[in-house]
Amino acid sequence: MKSHFKILLTLAVLVMALAPASADATWTGTFVLGSCCEPNSLDPAAMGISQTEGYVINAMYEGLTQYSRAGEVRPRLATSWEISDDALTYTLTLREGVQFHDGSALDSEDVVTSLERHKALGLGNLGFILAPVASVSALDDMTVEIQLSAADFQFWAGLPHIKILSADAIAANEVDGDMAADFFRENAVGTGAYELARWDPGRQTEMTAFADYWGGWEGSHVETFIARYGLDFSTRLLLMEDGEVHLIDWAGLSDIRRAETTDAINYNLGNPLQGFYHFMKQDGPLADKKVRQALMHAYPYEAMIEVMQGVALPLSSPTLSGTVGHCDVFEPVQDMDAARALLAETGYADGFSLRQAYRHANEPRRFAAVLFQESLAELGIEVVLDDIPWGTFIDAQRNFDTAYDMTSHWLNIPIPYSGEMLFRLNHSSLIDTGTGNWAWYNNPAFDALLEEAPTLAPGDPRIDELLCQAQQILIDDAVVIPVMLSQYIDLTHSSVRGYQYDPYGFPGDLRVHDIWLEN
């Protein structure tokens, strides 16, 4: 009898131990993302711009802070913080009771190790965020102090994207001082709501709800999150019609029409931190500011918005609304008479020829190139279009002689800070790197404004003032044409609830913890 009681007691303890953390959770099945592309790595320190990479990493890892959907910095693994008046010292208090997927508890050592590791490896596109960090130290178990070598607003704006890893897992998997880079490429030990169950390269990544997640599981949630890769677009749609895929990212214009024909699929629009720009290299006829201004007048802004069938918004500035420092400095209206008048003032009224790089396979870039080509033909300007892949383009752009006269591109920024977009657009340090400033613009006054703005403390009104001046300079000098904000389109299955596009979740955050499925 006594031994039976012992067995029953053991069983009861086992059942309690194996039970999910929250008895109030309602599990609603498996949420499947159908994506084109596979992450290169699951390591947050190597995070690039692939949305899929972001979806997976953001489900398994968390930062010290996070952006609300309105773009405000909110607590995450840090519950409170203090910023010194000179914006050089950031003191953060960590959240109690947070566990990593390996069972270790979050403390200051995890934060110190993660930030140092991220800064040292920095293979992804977020390396610049930690560049100004001079030191990270633990004041006590739950308080961390970050010291900057120079004030840099971008550090604070980018901190939500820097993920915290388990220091124990880093130490346990380090090989030859690689900071566990090999291990974290295909494994994940974060504090996120979902933990890695399996990554089948070429096929899918499967994540399951982390029972001890500090945010709890009260309410309805999905138990498993699967990111599927390599799905052809038509196959993704067929799978979604059958409820086998619940979310398709980066849908095309024609998919909206398809979604409208079935009740099984909904489409959603979002405004990403991404602008579409036309660059004019300052060479030949384009070295003349009046010629560039004429081309700015000739740009078919309205036609471009129209051809995008309602999923694009005009830009009134080189920066994006909703970002710190944005101001309206420009009216996107085509005026061919003004263009002709300006060209008449130059020696190029009889026309000339320009070479433009574009991608034919990309609908908006093709539309933009062809529409502008037609507009310029009316002014006697011939545009020769070259369809060129990214690797070849960037190689050509490094050399002034081989760089294209014109090119159109999207630029994404990871943080809602206009200075970052202006830097990518036209800062002189990017000349001959091929990674931005394809206008080969070199204006020390413009550079100085961009360099001063981030040294001010977060919230300083002079940030807006300086960046606004910088935007005005770009428009006056006519080096870059802000074409449009092409909206992000995604498709969701009709059973999906709780999903909302997050423009601040770089490079993509589905907030899977908020999602559930309804039968």
Partner 1 sequence: MGKLLLERLLTLVLKLFGMAVILFVVTQVLPADPAAVAAGTDARPEQIEKIRQQLGLDKPFHEQFITYISGLARGDLGKSLLTRRAVSDDLRLRFPATLELALFSGIVIVIFGVGLGIIAAVKAGSPLDFLIRAFVVISMGIPPFVLALFLQLIFAKSLDMFPLEGRLPTRLAPPPYATGLYTVDSLLAGQWDLFWSSLRHLALPVAALALGRLAVGARFTRSGMLETLSQPFVRTARAKGLREGRVIIRHAFRNALIPVVTMLGIQIGFLLSGAVLVEVVFTWPGLGRYAVESVLSFDFYAVIGAALIIAVIFVVSNTIVDLLYAQLDPRIKHR
Of 177 and 391, nearer to partner 1 (C-beta) is 391
Phi, psi of 304 (to 5 degrees): -65, -45
DSSP codes, 19-87: S-S-TTEEE--EEEEE-S---S-S-GGG--S-HHHHHHHHHH--BSEEE-TTS-EEESSEEEEEE-TTS
Of 41 and 373, nearer to partner 1 (C-beta) is 41
As measured in angstroms, the least distance from the Cβ of 289 to partner 1 is 27
Residue from 81, 128, 214, 267 touching partner 1 (CB under 8 A): that is 128
Question: What whole-number distance in Å separates Cα of residue 258 and Cα of residue 306?
Answer: 19
Asked if 311 contacts 300 with a C-beta cutoff of 8 angstroms, the reply is no
Does residue 230 belong to the site contacting partner 1 (CB under 8 A)? yes
Does residue 52 belong to the site contacting partner 1 (CB under 8 A)? no
Choices 33-41, 215-223, 291-299, 309-317; region in contact with partner 1 by CB under 8 A: 33-41
Per-residue binding string, partner 1, 410-449, x by CB under 8 A, is xxxxx---------x-----x--xxx--------------
Residue from 51, 52, 113, 204 touching partner 1 (CB under 8 A): that is 204
Phi, psi of 265 (to 5 degrees): -125, 130
DSSP code at position 102: T
As measured in angstroms, the least distance from the Cβ of 390 to partner 1 is 6
Question: What whole-number distance in Å separates Cα of residue 281 and Cα of residue 29?
Answer: 53
Query: Tokens in use for 415?
Result: 């943080």
Site size toward partner 1 (CB under 8 A) is 54
Does residue 235 belong to the site contacting partner 1 (CB under 8 A)? yes
Per-residue binding string, partner 1, 386-405, x by CB under 8 A, is ---xxxx-xxx-x-------
Q: Which long-range contacts (CB under 8 A, 24 or more apart) does 215-219 make?
A: 215/513, 216/21, 216/22, 217/20, 217/21, 217/22, 217/24, 217/25, 218/22, 218/24, 218/25, 219/24, 219/25, 219/26, 219/516
Does residue 30 belong to the site contacting partner 1 (CB under 8 A)? yes
Of 122 and 284, nearer to partner 1 (C-beta) is 122
Does residue 346 belong to the site contacting partner 1 (CB under 8 A)? no
Does residue 234 belong to the site contacting partner 1 (CB under 8 A)? yes
- Give the number of other Cβ atoms within 10 Å of residue 464's Cβ: 16
Alpha-carbon distances, residue 224 vs 16, 207, 221, 415 (angstroms): 21, 6, 9, 29
As measured in angstroms, the least distance from the Cβ of 106 to partner 1 is 28
Of 424 and 493, nearer to partner 1 (C-beta) is 424
- Give the number of other Cβ atoms within 10 Å of residue 422's Cβ: 26
Q: Which residues bind partner 1 (CB under 8 A)?
A: 30, 32, 38, 40-41, 46, 48-50, 122-125, 127-128, 185, 198, 200-204, 206, 224, 226, 228, 230-232, 234-235, 238-239, 242, 244, 389-392, 394-396, 398, 409-414, 424, 430, 433-435
